Amino acid sequence: AKLIFRHGKFFLYVPVTINVPDTPAPSSCKKVVGIDRGIRFLAAACDGKKTSFYSGAAVKQKRAHYKELRRQLQKRQTSSARRRIRAIGQRENRWMNDVNHRISKALVCAHPKGTLFVLEDLTGIRGASERVRVKDRYTQVSWAYYDLEQKIMYKAVRCGSALLKVDPAYTSRECSGCGVVDKESRRTRSLFVCVACGLRLHADVNAARVI
């Protein structure tokens, strides 16, 4: 164990080992849930019947607040300002960590043991920031998608479920009804209308179903 004194209080950190059930093979799972991660909605989960949305509006607003606060402090060029910037960064990380804990817990607890959670493999997504508008780059780079993925993974395993990552190519352009891929089907950020079969869905719901 480790005894920590922080902010005028003592905390005792005690590591524990938890026995978890064997992770089921994807083919043996009785239920499949597709999860589309993004910035506008941190997660949109669909099991084929119902969809759950987790808005990212509060996160985007909070990130913007901290960014502006850091900008103002950087102008001062003082030691106290630099200490304040470090403290703000730690506070922001703790807050985002808590957000991802609550989302991942809600996702895993909403589905029974033996569920297969399917996510896009977003490895290398950071390198795509150059293709994003300059004003949106900070939001893209600070997006905690990997942390959310890790939390979903360990919570799923602990509950006897499994996680699978798939190729993210064309998931936003493919129709979950007929499988036709066409960029014209993605009418707006939130609307998907298939040019082939006419399926009309919220874009994130369609992506979650494809995943």
pLDDT attached to residue 136:
63
Instruction: Summarize pLDDT for 89-101 with one digit per residue, the tens.
Output: 889 999 999 999 9
pLDDT attached to residue 133:
63
Q: Are 163 and 152 in contact (CB under 8 A)?
A: yes
pLDDT attached to residue 60:
87
Write down how long the chain is. 211
Calculate the average pLDDT of the chain: 89
Q: How confident is the model at residue 140 (pLDDT cuts 50, 70, 90)?
A: low
How many angstroms separate the CA atoms of 102 and 120, rounded? 20
> Annotated active-site positions, please?
36, 120, 204
Instruction: Summarize pLDDT for 48-84 with one digit per residue, the tens.
Output: 888 999 999 998 898 889 888 988 988 888 899 888 8
> At 192, phi and psi to the nearest 5?
-120, 125
pLDDT attached to residue 153:
94
Mean pLDDT of 115-136: 74
Q: Are 186 and 210 in contact (CB under 8 A)?
A: no
